Structure 1
Amino acid sequence: MTLHPAAPEDLPALTAAYAQTVQAISDLGHSLRPGDAERDTACPGWTVLDQFAHVVSLEAWVQGEEPPGLSADEQAQTPHINDVVDRFLTSRRGRSLEELLEELDALVSSRVRHLEAETTSSEDPATGPFGPTTLLGLMSSRLFDLWVHEQDIREAIGRPGNLDTAAAAHTVNLLFRALPRIVARTAAVPHDHAVILDLTGPVVGRAGARVEERDGKAHGIPLFTGEAEQHPDVVTTTLTMSTQAATRRAAGRVSTADTHVTVTGDEEIARRVLDALVITP
Structure 2
Amino acid sequence: MSLHPPAPTDFAGAVDAWAQTVQSVLDLGRTLRPGDEGHATDCPGWTVFDQVAHVASAEAAVAGDPVPDLDVSGHAHVRHAFGARMERLVESRRGRTLDDLLDELEWRLAERLAAYRAEGVTGEEEVEGPFGPTRLVDLVAVRTFDVWMHEQDLREALERPGGLDGPAAATSVAWVFRQLPRVVAKDAGIEPGNAVVLDLTGPTVGRVGARVEEQDGRAVGIPLFIGEDVEHPDVVTTTLSMSTRVAMRLAGGRRAPEDLPVTVSGDDDVARRVLAALAITP
TM-score, normalised relative to structure 2: 0.95
Counterpart of 2:58 in structure 1 is 58
* Aligned equivalents of 2:51, 2:129: Cα separation in 1: 19
* 1:79 shift after superposition: 7.9
* Aligned equivalents of 1:241, 1:100: Cα separation in 2: 35
Counterpart of 1:228 in structure 2 is 229
What SS does the aligned partner of 2:33 have? coil
* Aligned equivalents of 1:77, 1:177: Cα separation in 2: 35
What SS does the aligned partner of 1:257 have? helix
Deviations 1:10-69 (A, max 9, x none): 211111111111111100000001111010001121110010001101110110101111
Label 1:271 to 1:152 Cα distance change in 2 as closer, same or farther (>3 A): same
Map of 1:244-259 to 2, 5 A cutoff?
A: 244-259=245-260
The answer to whether structure 1 residue 29 and structure 2 residue 29 are counterparts is yes
Instruction: Give the aligned residue type for 2:29.
Output: G
Label 1:225 to 1:75 Cα distance change in 2 as closer, same or farther (>3 A): closer
Map of 1:152-231 to 2, 5 A cutoff?
A: 152-231=153-232
Counterpart of 1:16 in structure 2 is 16
* Aligned equivalents of 2:273, 2:76: Cα separation in 1: 32
Instruction: Give the aligned residue type for 2:96.
Output: R
The answer to whether structure 1 residue 42 and structure 2 residue 42 are counterparts is yes
Q: Is the 8 A contact 2:149 2:252 kept in 1?
A: yes
Indicate the percent of aligned positions where both proteins have the same amino acid: 55
* Aligned equivalents of 2:92, 2:72: Cα separation in 1: 13
Instruction: Give the aligned residue type for 2:87.
Output: D
What SS does the aligned partner of 1:213 have? strand
* Aligned equivalents of 1:256, 1:175: Cα separation in 2: 16
Label 1:172 to 1:78 Cα distance change in 2 as closer, same or farther (>3 A): closer
What SS does the aligned partner of 1:240 have? strand
Deviations 1:153-202 (A, max 9, x none): 00001000010011111111111111111111111111111110000000
Structure 1: stretches of 5+ with no match in the other structure: none
Counterpart of 2:142 in structure 1 is 141
Counterpart of 2:106 in structure 1 is 105
Label 1:265 to 1:90 Cα distance change in 2 as closer, same or farther (>3 A): same
Label 1:258 to 1:77 Cα distance change in 2 as closer, same or farther (>3 A): closer
Deviations 1:112-161 (A, max 9, x none): 01111112131222222212222112101100000000000000010000
Instruction: Give the aligned residue type for 1:136.
Output: V
Map of 1:238-249 to 2, 5 A cutoff?
A: 238-249=239-250
Counterpart of 1:90 in structure 2 is 91
TM-score, normalised relative to structure 1: 0.95
* Aligned equivalents of 2:198, 2:85: Cα separation in 1: 34
* 1:76 shift after superposition: 6.9
* 1:278 shift after superposition: 1.4
Q: Is the 8 A contact 2:18 2:141 kept in 1?
A: no
* Aligned equivalents of 1:120, 1:221: Cα separation in 2: 34
* 1:77 shift after superposition: 5.1
Deviations 1:87-129 (A, max 9, x none): 1110001111100011111111011011111121312222222
Q: Is the 8 A contact 2:213 2:222 kept in 1?
A: yes
* Aligned equivalents of 1:115, 1:98: Cα separation in 2: 26
* Aligned equivalents of 1:272, 1:123: Cα separation in 2: 37
